[in-house]
Amino acid sequence: MGAFSHTLFNDCFVFAQEKRIQFQEKIDHMKEQGHKLMEKVSDKRDEFITKWEERSREFVNSFVGLFGKDGRIVSRSIVLDVTRNLKTE
């Protein structure tokens, strides 16, 4: 096996360092993109929960308004109004 020159070793070292830096830059970029995505998901999650809470209150109020204390339907007109509202949404 032949001897390797100092220049060849130096070139390989520089090449490896450049590749390491490029790789680290890509990793940093991916981390940044991941953080941005998590922020967007968090914002959407909060929005979804808020809408769900609002809708659940509407459903509970409609349910309570539909049934009296004894659990019977209070009025048929209420049933028709509720079903119309559900179809339009």
Q: Where are the domains of the chain?
A: 27-88
For the chain (89 residues), the mean pLDDT of every run of 10, in chain order, is: 72 90 96 92 88 88 73 60 58
pTM of the predicted structure, to 2 decimals: 0.46
Secondary structure (3-state) at 71: coil
How far apart are the C-alpha atoms of 79 and 84, rounded to whole Å? 9
